[in-house]
Amino acid sequence: MIVVTGAAGFIGSCMLKKLYNERFTDLVAVDDFSKTQKLANYQSIPNLKLVNRDEFNDWLQQNHRLTQFIFHLGARTDTGEFNPEIFNALNLNYSKEVFNNCVKFGLPLVYASSAATYGMGEYGFIDNHDIVEDLKPLNPYGVSKNEFDKWVLKQERKPYFWVGIKFFNVFGPNEYHKGRMASVIFHAVNQIKETGKLKLFRSHNQDFKDGEQKRDFIYVKDAVDVLYWWMHHRKDSGIYNLGTGKARTFNDLAKAVFSALNIPEMIEYIDTPADIRDKYQYFTEADMQKLRKIGYNQSFMSLEDAVNDYVKQHLDSGLRWY
């Protein structure tokens, strides 16, 4: 059995579909399945075993001998939530339990960290273990992810194979349930369809023109390809970045969305809200050398191709990834 936590969510459900498409059919989905808006993300996968998030560690005690691999992708990801206790419970302490059980039962583990751990990028965006202690995340979500990374690196006993993945700006199908936490691409499509134009934040940094702020956007289909590769690689344990390695501007993103929708470009620049202006990131880009050096050689889709696929194959039709 292959276990995916966070299986009803965005990346988790796409990972399930990737595994199913690769003919892995003995799949275990772990999540809080009470949220019916996520049902469409996983209901099409036949014979899927569902395990409630609160029961997973007990379930693993009974089923570890049949478990081959764990993708721990479940987390509270709301960057607008500022109650640290929620993140301590779901992102830190729960993850420690999963990690310790993988040590106890000799199970390989891939878990979700986040590029949010890098904060303003004071130390760059390099997946070097030496800088993890010094990173300064900007919100409790990023703090919780970095605290777990720090804890993992300090453990004397670790799973025989483990990887922490620092996801950058992932977008794509199955994020429909995320509301305001869905990707910029998702919201851009909806806004353009409703108004015929797209609002972007004006630059308040003299080094960047309006709309030239940059992010490393990665398509979820590329992201799960990397996760799948790790399941077979099973060596070179550590913490790794996962982005395309090429930052793109919000203007680029806007143009790609307008093109995919076949609607003339109309961009309006608005002030960045004052309460987030001081912590607004003008540049993020994953340094991907570490992953490339150990043998991952697949290319990533360009922003234009990925947006076109997302819009035409999913958002226009409302289809999940199946």
Measured distance CA(245)–CA(229) in Å, rounded: 18
Q: Residue 279: which of 65, 72, 119, 56 has the closest Cα?
A: 119
* Residue 269 dihedral angles phi and psi, to the nearest 5°: -100, 130
Q: Where are the domains of the chain?
A: 2-172+216-245+284-301
The catalytic residue among 178, 197, 199, 246 is: 178
Rounded Cα distance between 155 and 103, Å, is 10
Q: What is the pLDDT of residue 321?
A: 66
Q: What is the pLDDT of residue 265?
A: 96
Token digits of residue 215: 């992010």
Q: Is 141 assigned a catalytic role?
A: yes
Residue 224 has pLDDT above 90, yes or no: yes
What is the reported pLDDT for 80?
67
Mean pLDDT, residues 274-285: 90
Residue 67: predicted pLDDT: 98
Nearest Cα neighbor of 245 from 311, 169, 156, 313 is 169
pTM, whole model, 2 decimals? 0.95
From the candidates 141, 219, 228, 240, give the one annotated as an active-site residue: 141
- Is the pLDDT assigned to residue 322 strictly greater than 60? no
Mean pLDDT across the chain, nearest whole number?
A: 94
pLDDT digits (tens, 9 = 90+) for 88-110: 788 899 999 999 999 999 999 99
What is the architecture of the domain spanning 2-172+216-245+284-301? 3-Layer(aba) Sandwich (3.40)
Per-residue pLDDT band at 20 (split at 50, 70, 90) = very high
Q: How far is Cα 248 from Cα 250, in angstroms, rounded to an integer? A: 7
Whether 111 is catalytic: no
- Grade residue 83 by pLDDT with cuts at 50, 70 and 90: confident
Residues 72-98 have a mean pLDDT of 84
Instruction: Quick: pLDDT tens for 143-175.
Output: 999 999 999 999 999 999 999 999 999 999 999
